[in-house]
Amino acid sequence: MGREKDCSVQLPDDDDHAGISRHHCLLDINPPDARVRDFGSLNGTYVNGVKIGQRQKHHTVADAAQMTFPQYDLKDGDQIMLGRTALRVNVFVPALCGECSTEILEAEKKQAEVLPGTYQCAACRKKAEEERRRQEEEARKAAEAARLDAAKRAKAKHCAKCGKNVAGEEGANRNGDFVCAACKSNPAGILKLLLAMAKGGDPKLLGIRGYTVLRELGRGGMGAVYLARKDETGEVVALKVMLPQVALEDRAKEMFMRETANTMALQHQNIIRLHDSGCSNGTFFLTLEFCDGGSVDNLMKQRGGPLPIDEATGIVLQALEGLEYAHAAEMPHVKLGDGKIGRGRGLVHRDLKPANLFLTGTGSSRMVKIGDYGMSKAFELAGLSGLSMTGNIVGTPAFMPRQQVLECKYAKPDVDVWAMAATLYCLLTFDVPRNFSRHADPWKAILDTDAVPIRRRNPSIPKALAEVIDRALVDRPGIQFKTAAEFRRELQKAL
């Protein structure tokens, strides 16, 4: 929020609003949660008359860029003041049509309520009216099912793995399965249970039936990855366990599984193949192609510095081929212009970086593959991380253009192209394009600063190659290279 043109909430740049900074504050919304954070404005940001952040008058804008101010959790009815401009916060959980998940407007909510807490949009009501005589028995059964479900939800919630009462744990207040904090800290135990259930014939777990876990490959905030072997064929795969930090509702589950179906549709030599996926006991599992060479990020750590130009550009050129394919591939579940989900083209990764590029094979046959295609994005957008966007930023801002901050839910393919240029920058310099201060707000740094020319980090990089990389990292006012193919061609010319 501020007077700058790129603000999502832009206030007029006139005398009446002179007390408002260009980038005044950040409004971080992850429904139904909302937070506000001052960006070191000269005149401060106020919530209910209480100042939550402001730089001192002797501090400059540049000084403020090196400061971080605390964020404030907003509640229904709070008032935010920027200068003489007041905004009232209204928090509510929107009603959704039980048939097609269309959001019901507040003005239509009363008319749309067909059962207590159950809503139906105008189109679905018309359809139901036409078939009412034939559906009377189904309606009676649905009402009884709703009553039983409400009674079930009124009881104490229990961990889907160990049965512990989790009613007091953060994130357990939604409907659906929930895994307690103790079980989340032991993903190997959860996987052992799922494999045993799969062996027993659980139809939800056929995708991991007959696998033996060999060792853990890695662990992160969303779960863990294991090397597993298919007992029948001896094939090894990466078996990934993803643990939602909140209770797993059906709608979030369906959204995530739609994204896995999109990822499964990607069939390219430079993209890690997703073999199978599923969900049980509040836990997602994925079986993926295993890359024996590990990640490019680990390769750099082993070398202890930047990679040679031929090796670094070779890695990125291969990854760009996979990216070019993914941005044009036909997908089964894409949100169309009318808001419906149907077949469409193109899938944006949103989280490209050295840690998500993997290697397999050796020598001239070494292959680069893009990993985690859409999984982290889908996990966060479905609300399964339990965090707001700005709460889940470890390692990500360094490879993110300003367009992805301003329009985080509607990222276009060019944000992946920028991230791939940032990845090449990192491979050649062992550093990231922007300067980030340990104590400064990374989101403000992305909005207010540009990439450092690559030859300032590594003067030995040839001028022609440096010019292409620097051009690819321009993101103000727009990203220069719109497609992976365009960036790949320019790199090849520079080499």
The conformational region for residue 261 under phi > 0 = left, psi -120 to 50 = alpha, else beta, is alpha
Rounded-to-integer distance, Cα 131 and Cα 455, Å: 70
The dihedral formed by the CA atoms of 399, 402, 406 and 409, expressed in degrees to the nearest 10: -30
Domain residue spans of the chain: 15-88, 95-154, 181-288, 294-494
Give me the pLDDT at residue 394, please: 33
Amino acid code (one letter) for 491 = L
Residue numbers of the chain with a pLDDT score lower than 50? 391-395
Side-chain-side CA neighbours of residue 26 (13 Å): 25
Rounded-to-integer distance, Cα 453 and Cα 103, Å: 46
CB 86 within 8 A of CB 79: yes
CB atoms < 10 A from the CB of 380, how many? Answer: 22
Query: Which among 383, 402, 414, 387 has a CA at the least distance from the CA of 442?
Result: 402
CA distances from 22 to 10, 81, 173, 389 (A): 9, 15, 38, 22
pLDDT in tens, 242-290: 877 766 677 777 777 888 888 889 999 999 999 998 888 778 888 999 9
Query: Which among 480, 478, 482, 483 has a CA at the least distance from the CA of 469?
Result: 480
pLDDT in tens, 98-145: 888 888 888 888 889 988 888 999 888 888 888 877 777 878 888 888
Strand partners, 240: 225, 286
Query: Which among 369, 447, 327 has a CA at the least distance from the CA of 61?
Result: 447
CA distances from 365 to 293, 323, 362 (A): 12, 20, 6
Rounded-to-integer distance, Cα 492 and Cα 312, Å: 13
CATH superfamily of the 181-288 domain: Phosphorylase Kinase; domain 1 (3.30.200.20)
In words, the CATH class of domain 294-494 is mainly alpha
Same fold, 15-88 and 294-494: no
Strand partners, 165: 158
Peptide bond between residue 31 and the one before it cis (omega within 30 degrees of 0): no
CB 479 within 8 A of CB 420: no
Backbone dihedral angles phi then psi of residue 380, each to the nearest 5 degrees: -75, -45
This prediction has a pTM of 0.71
Give me the pLDDT at residue 391, please: 43
Strand partners, 230: 211
What CATH number labels 15-88? 2.60.200.20
CA distances from 234 to 59, 105, 331 (A): 64, 54, 31
The end-to-end CA distance of the chain, in Å, is 43
Q: In sequence order, which residues have a C-beta less than 8 Å from that of residue 153 and are 6 or more positions away?
A: 175
At 276, list the tokens.
């199978």
Give me the pLDDT at residue 344, please: 83
Only one residue has tokens 């920028």, namely 418
SS3 of the chain: the string is CECCCCCCCECCCCHHHCCCCCCCEEEEEECCEEEEEECCCCCCEEECCEEEECCCCCCCHHHHCCCCCCEEECCCCCEEEECCEEEECCCCCCEEECCCCCEECHHHHHHHEEECCEECCHHHHHHHHHCHHHHHHHHHHHHHHHHHHHHHHHCCCEECCCCCECCCCCCCCCCCEECCHHHHCCHHHHHHHHHHHHHCCCHHHHHHCCEEEEEEEEEECCEEEEEEEECCCCCEEEEEEECCCCCECHHHHHHHHHHHHHHHCCCCCCECCEEEEEEECCEEEEEEECCCCCEHHHHHHHHCCCCCHHHHHHHHHHHHHHHHHHHHCEEEEEECCCCCEEEEECCCCCCCCHHHEEEECCHHHCEEEECCCCHHHHHHHCCCCCCCHHHCCCCCHHHCCHHHHHCHHHCCHHHHHHHHHHHHHHHHHCCCCCCCCCCCCHHHHHHHCCCCCHHHHCCCCCHHHHHHHHHHCCCCCCCCCCCHHHHHHHHHHHC
Peptide bond between residue 32 and the one before it cis (omega within 30 degrees of 0): yes
